[in-house]
Amino acid sequence: MEQRSQWGTRIGFLLAAIGSAVGLGNIWRFPATAFENGGGAFFVPYLFALLTAGIPLLIMEYTIGHKYRSSSPRSFSKISKGMEWIGWWQVLISFVISTYYPIIIAWSIMYAYFSLGTKWGDDPTTFFVSDFLSVVDAGEFGSFVPSVLIPVIFVWIFVFFFLGRGVKKGIEFANRIFIPTLLVVFIIIVIRALTLPGAVDGLDAFFKPDWSRITDGSVWIAAYGQIFFSLSIAFAIMITYSSYLPKKSDITNNAFITGFANSSFELLAGIGVFAVLGFMAFQTSQPVAEVVKSGVGLAFMVFPEIISQMPASSFFGFLFFGSLVLAGLSSMISISETYIAAVQEKFSISRRKALLLGGGLAFLASLLYSTQGGLNLLDTVDYFINNYGVALAGLFEVVAIAWFAKGLKDLQNHADSVSDIKLGVWWRFSLGVITPVVLGYMMLQNLKTDLS
Ligand code: PHE
Ligand code: NA
Q: What residues contact 226, with CB distance under 8 A and at least 6 apart?
A: 25, 29, 30, 33, 46, 49
* Residues 35 and 206: beta-carbon distance below 8 Å: yes
Mutate to test the pocket of ligand 1, among 58, 331, 337, 387 (most ligand atoms within 8 A of CB): 331
Mutate to test the pocket of ligand 1, among 178, 230, 241 (most ligand atoms within 8 A of CB): 230
Q: How far apart are the first and last CA of the chain?
A: 54
50-80 pLDDT tens trace: 999 999 999 999 999 999 999 999 999 999 9
pLDDT at 141: 61
Ligand 1 atom having least distance to the Cα of 232: 1
Closest CA to 168 of 296, 337, 317, 314: 337
The angle at the Cα of 442, spanning 440 to 444, to the nearest 5 degrees, equals 70
| Domains in the chain, number | 1
pLDDT at 390: 85
Backbone φ and ψ for 233, nearest 5 degrees, come out as -95, 150
Q: 431 pLDDT band (50/70/90 cuts)?
A: very high
Query: Which residue, judged by its Cα, is nearest atom 11 of ligand 1?
Result: 232
330-343 pLDDT tens trace: 999 999 999 999 99
Question: Does residue 142 come out as left (phi exceeding 0), alpha (psi in the -120 to 50 range) or beta?
Answer: beta
Q: Is the pLDDT of residue 297 over 80?
A: yes
In a domain, 389, yes or no: yes
Find the 410 Cα to ligand 1 centroid distance in Å: 29
Backbone φ and ψ for 144, nearest 5 degrees, come out as -65, 145
Give the pocket of ligand 1 (CB within 6 Å).
20-21, 23-26, 97, 229-230, 232, 235, 237, 331, 334-335
Find the 35 Cα to ligand 1 centroid distance in Å: 20
77-101 pLDDT tens trace: 999 999 999 999 999 999 999 999 9
Query: Which residue, judged by its Cα, is nearest atom 9 of ligand 1?
Result: 232
What ipTM was reported for this prediction?
A: 0.97
**Three-class SS of 12-36:** HHHHHHHHHHCCHHHHHHHHHHHHH
What's the mean pLDDT when you consider all of the chain? Answer: 94
257-292 pLDDT tens trace: 999 999 999 999 999 999 999 999 999 999 999 988
Find the 25 Cα to ligand 2 centroid distance in Å: 5
Question: Does residue 407 come out as left (phi exceeding 0), alpha (psi in the -120 to 50 range) or beta?
Answer: left
In a domain, 102, yes or no: yes
pLDDT at 2: 58
* pLDDT mean over 116-124: 91
d(CA 165, CA 361): 19
d(CA 408, CA 290): 47
Q: Which residue has the higher pLDDT, 20 or 442?
A: 20
217-269 pLDDT tens trace: 999 999 999 999 899 999 999 999 999 999 999 999 999 999 999 999 999 99
Find the 263 Cα to ligand 2 centroid distance in Å: 8
Find the 140 Cα to ligand 2 centroid distance in Å: 33
pLDDT at 140: 56
In a domain, 135, yes or no: yes
Structural domain harbouring 441? 10-451
In a domain, 3, yes or no: no
In a domain, 183, yes or no: yes
* pLDDT mean over 116-136: 87
CATH, residue 297: 1.20.1740
352-394 pLDDT tens trace: 999 999 999 999 999 999 888 888 888 889 888 888 888 899 9
Ligand 1 atom having least distance to the Cα of 94: 11
Find the 323 Cα to ligand 1 centroid distance in Å: 15
Backbone φ and ψ for 52, nearest 5 degrees, come out as -105, -5
Q: 137 pLDDT band (50/70/90 cuts)?
A: low
* pLDDT mean over 1-22: 92
Find the 134 Cα to ligand 2 centroid distance in Å: 30
Ligand 1 atom having least distance to the Cα of 231: 1
**Three-class SS of the chain:** CCCCCCCCCHHHHHHHHHHHHCCHHHHHHHHHHHHHCCHHHHHHHHHHHHHHHHHHHHHHHHHHHHHHCCCHHHHHHHHCHHHHHHHHHHHHHHHHHHHHHHHHHHHHHHHHHHHCCCCCCCCHHHHHHHHHCCCCCCCCCCCECHHHHHHHHHHHHHHHHHHHCHHHHHHHHHHHHHHHHHHHHHHHHHHHHHCCCCHHHHHHHHHCCCHHHHHCHHHHHHHHHHHHHHCCCCCCHHHHHHCCCCCCCCHHHHHHHHHHHHHHHHHHHHHHHHHHHHHHHHHHCCCHHHHCCCHHHHHHHHHHHHHHHCCCHHHHHHHHHHHHHHHHHHHHHHHHHHHHHHHHHHCCCCHHHHHHHHHHHHHHHHHHCCECCHHHHHHHHHHHHHHHHHHHHHHHHHHHHHHHCCCHHHHHHHHHHHCCCCCCHHHHHHHHHHHHHHHHHHHHHHHHHHHC
* Residues 329 and 178: beta-carbon distance below 8 Å: yes
Find the 439 Cα to ligand 2 centroid distance in Å: 18
Q: 323 pLDDT band (50/70/90 cuts)?
A: very high
Q: 130 pLDDT band (50/70/90 cuts)?
A: confident
Ligand 1 atom having least distance to the Cα of 23: 12
In a domain, 5, yes or no: no
* pLDDT mean over 305-333: 94
Query: Which residue, judged by its Cα, is nearest atom 8 of ligand 1?
Result: 331
In a domain, 1, yes or no: no
Ligand 1 atom having least distance to the Cα of 334: 10
148-193 pLDDT tens trace: 999 999 999 999 999 999 999 999 999 999 999 999 999 999 999 9
Estimate to the nearest angstrom the gap between the alpha carbon of 235 and the chain centroid. Answer: 10
Mutate to test the pocket of ligand 1, among 18, 24, 268 (most ligand atoms within 8 A of CB): 24
